[in-house]
């Protein structure tokens, strides 16, 4: 991970490559965690970090993951 502004960490290219090589179950868990932070309206730092992390993945790969996992990561019925 690399730090931005001394405190915000994002994944690097080599870390993305490692995640892409992981099993579907493990990489899916990572995406679920990132999506849950992206959709958390409470704190801007985790939202920003997670968005930056998700941007690092190949578009086709992350699109497929998001389409399969979005409803595991967020509760659309939460008021």
CB count in 10 Å sphere of residue 43: 10
* Pair 34, 50: CB distance under 8 Å: yes
Q: What Cα–Cα distance (Å) separates residue 18 from each residue in 7, 44, 57, 58, 59? A: 23, 27, 11, 13, 16
What are phi and psi for residue 5, nearest 5 degrees? 55, 30
Q: Which residues contact 2 (CB under 8 A, 6 or more apart)?
A: 9, 10, 12
Kindly report the pTM of this predicted structure: 0.70
- Residue-wise pLDDT tens digits, 2-60: 444 554 556 777 888 999 999 999 999 988 888 888 877 777 888 888 888 889 899 99
Q: Could you state, in order of their start, the residue ranges of all structural domains in the chain? A: 2-73
């Amino acid at each position: 991970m690399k730090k931005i502004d001394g405190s915000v960490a994002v994944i690097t290219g080599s870390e993305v490559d490692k995640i892409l090589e992981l099993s579907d179950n493990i990489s899916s868990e990572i995406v679920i965690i990132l999506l849950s932070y992206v959709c958390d309206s409470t704190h801007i730092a985790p939202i920003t970090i997670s968005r930056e992390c998700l941007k690092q993945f190949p578009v086709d790969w992350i699109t497929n993951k998001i389409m399969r996992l979005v409803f595991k990561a967020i509760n659309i019925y939460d008021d």
